[in-house]
Amino acid sequence: MPSIYIVPAWLEENHDLEFLRLRISEVFRKKTVIYESKKIDFHSIYNPSRKQYNSSQFLIQLLNNHPKDALRILGVTDVDLFIPILTFVFGEAQLNGIAGVVSVHRLNNKFYGLPENEELLRKRLIKEAIHELGHTYGLVHCLTPGCVMNSSTYVEDIDEKSEFFCSYCSSVIRG
Amino acid sequence: MKPKDVSILIVDDEPSIRNSLAGWFKMDGYKTEVAEDAYEALKKLQENNFDIALLDIKMPEMDGIELQRRIKEIDKNIITIIITAYATVETAIQAMKDGAFDYITKPIDPDELSRLIKKAIEQRRLIAENIMLRGKIEELQSLDEIIGESPAIKKVMELINTVAETDSTVMIRGESGTGKELVARAIHAKSKRRYFPIVTINCGAYPEGLLESELFGHEKGAFTGALYQRKGKLEMANKGTLFLDEVGNISLKMQMDLLRVLETKKFTRLGGDKVIEADFRVISATNRDLEQAVREGSFREDLYYRLNVFTIFLPPLRERKSDIPLLTYHFIKKFSLSMNKDVKEISKEAMNLLMDYDWPGNVRELRNVIERAMVNVKGSRIEVDDLYFSISSPYPKPEGETLEDVEKAHIKKILNKTGWNITKAAEILNIDRVTLYNKIEKYKLRK
Ligand SMILES: [Zn+2]
Ligand SMILES: [Zn+2]
């Protein structure tokens, strides 16, 4: 059955992504499955001088190794991601494609030296996952206040927006 | 400007950089194109319009600095942003001197990049607005300078209003200085094309070869000195109006080329083979007797009919002398503002002088006379001594040597005074209407 696949690609801890699976299946109204892939090779995408991982190459690896019936495939990692031109990214997606990636690295209060807050971290991850999947449906950054498709540069921007699409963006998702 | 109306060209020899930049901007909704070197960039710039160009400073063969110089020659309004590594900041400073909007160093903070693009778009919007405003001011000026109450000029205004709404080709006829360009601008400003440019080309002002390249544009290397590709006026007039001033002066060869373009709205740049289409309305103007030129064979008949779909004749000022006071006061007011002077009126004697003068240079000459008077005037009223007539003597030329000259001038004066009411004029002249008609015919007097 055609599904949205969530691919955990942790390096250190094993996170339980059940909350994310439920939320994504609700939002996109598609069967959503957590899919363990052995084929993601993080060593090859590591950039030692930046001490970061290349997000575009992560995306390519997902695309080369996805189940045949994948409607969408979302990689979730906790390493710090970059694209060559930028200092960092929270995530990346193919516009109108099938793949997206998100990283919890900079969503975690720990990164900013703040007390950990598991609930806040989950909320941020849900927003960024929905946001990146939104791009795969062809959505670009939205200026409607609160829409999950608002672009966010800082973690505070993520906290400021909701996890919902505005009426325009949701009409695109619903087709 | 909405993001989807903004197009960005990204030039970098490093694929991962140009692709990640393009991806980033696409997510923001911008239109993007990438080029892997300066040559590809220049080619894309010639095919499409871009608002912003991001240029990597370090590229093989032609670097970002040189590329920027060439871009500015093609379109000086494109916003250029230089991407640099720390090691080359000094060159980035050179790029700024050459007109770069800003430079950024790799790797870029995402927020800095977004902010920079927003700033660039704002700058771009201001440039576009300025260009439009400048155009608007010219149009407004033109509208308020077609002034008069005489039947002749009222007829012209009526025609402008009628023809503006149609998309018809218009030819404006009249002596020089009668305001043909003002009429063309007024037609454009009242037409549905008013949000697009009116592009003027003075066909009499260029030697043949240059006129061709002005109109059609040229590709790089089309002739000696054609170092870069250039868009012609036909392309610039797309969606707007093309105003061909002094169209009676173009060579037979150009007449043929022009005819072809007007018929097909398709053409190629000099030295190029790509067919370009442009949608423009043509308004032309001439002070030549084109019918005579057609008879002589110096003007193509088919082109004449093509241009002459709708004709507006502009009367010379001497045939609408009743408009002189209105025009005079209009110019006084206008120059009072621009020269910051408090001039309010003109003496009766000075006005009489203006009324009696023959105005070979028409409204333009009147405007110049008033402008000079405004420079000279001491108080708040223009006096006879302030008036200088540029073309002939400082005073109206004597009414003529012979009795016939005097008679001709006098009849004309009375006719103008009565607004060409033949019965009234005959009454004042104390002759019958038939005699007056005969004299009008004899002296070839025209309204
Ligand atoms: Zn996004
Ligand atoms: Zn939205």
Query: What's the rounded Cα separation, in Å, for the pair B4 and B436?
Result: 70
Helix (H/G/I), strand (E/B), else coil: A175: coil
For B107, the closest of A86, A135, A140 (CB atoms) is A86
What pLDDT, in 10s, does the model give residues A124-160?
999 999 999 999 999 999 988 899 999 988 888 899 9
Q: What are phi and psi of A64, to 5 degrees?
A: -80, -10
Higher pLDDT, B93 or A90: A90
**B16 interface with A at CB cutoff 8 Å:** yes
The answer to whether residue B140 scores a pLDDT higher than 60 is: no
Highest mean pLDDT among A40-44, B33-37, B208-212: B33-37
Average pLDDT over residues A42-54: 91
Highest mean pLDDT among A4-13, B212-221, B322-331: B322-331
HSE at residue A141, side-chain half, CA atoms within 13 A, is 18
pLDDT at B312: 94
For A151, the closest of B23, B28, B106 (CB atoms) is B28
Higher pLDDT, B231 or B162: B162
pLDDT at B390: 58
pLDDT at B143: 55
pLDDT at B49: 84
Average model confidence (pLDDT) across chain B: 84
What pLDDT, in 10s, does the model give residues B379-418?
899 998 888 875 444 444 444 567 777 788 888 888 888 8
B24:A50 CB<8 A: no
> Does the CA dihedral A38-A44-A47-A51 come out positive or negative?
positive
Average pLDDT over residues B110-139: 77
pLDDT at A37: 84
ipTM: 0.82
What pLDDT, in 10s, does the model give residues B91-117?
777 888 888 888 888 888 888 888 889
Catalytic residue among A12, A26, A36, A132: A132
pLDDT at B302: 94
A141:B14 CB<8 A: no
Average pLDDT over residues B140-164: 81
Average model confidence (pLDDT) across chain A: 91
- Give the DSSP per-residue string, B154-210: HHHHHHHHHHHHS---EEEE--TTS-HHHHHHHHHHHSTTTTS-EEEEEGGGS-HHH
A140:B16 CB<8 A: no
Pairing label, strands A70-77, A99-103:
parallel
Helix (H/G/I), strand (E/B), else coil: B293: helix
Angle at B400 between CA B396 and CA B403, to 5 degrees: 145
Helix (H/G/I), strand (E/B), else coil: A73: strand
| A99 exposure class (CB count in 10 Å sphere: 0-12, 13-18, 19+) | buried
pLDDT at A96: 93
What pLDDT, in 10s, does the model give residues A54-68?
999 999 999 998 888
pLDDT band at A13 (very low <50, low <70, confident <90, very high): low
Radius of gyration, CA atoms only, chain B: 29
For residue A153, the CA-to-ligand 1 centroid distance in Å is 9
Task: Note if A156 is an active site residue.
Answer: no
What pLDDT, in 10s, does the model give residues B225-267?
665 667 788 888 888 899 999 999 888 888 998 999 998 988 8
The answer to whether residue A94 scores a pLDDT higher than 90 is: yes
Helix (H/G/I), strand (E/B), else coil: B392: coil
Average pLDDT over residues B357-378: 87
pLDDT at B144: 60
pLDDT band at B189 (very low <50, low <70, confident <90, very high): confident
A141:B27 CB<8 A: yes
Average pLDDT over residues A32-37: 91
Tokens (6 digits) for B37: 């070197």
Which residues from B are below 8 Å from A56, CB to CB?
16, 19-20, 23
pLDDT band at A174 (very low <50, low <70, confident <90, very high): confident
For B107, the closest of A87, A151, A154 (CB atoms) is A87
Helix (H/G/I), strand (E/B), else coil: B373: helix
B110:A88 CB<8 A: yes
Q: Which residue has the tokens 């036909």?
A: B234
pLDDT at B398: 47
The separation between the first and the last C-alpha atoms of chain B, rounded to the nearest angstrom, is: 52
pLDDT at B214: 84
pLDDT at B382: 93
Of A114-118, B178-182, B207-211, the least confident? B207-211
Residue among B8, B10, B20, B26 with most chain A CBs within 10 A, to mutate: B20
pLDDT band at B224 (very low <50, low <70, confident <90, very high): low
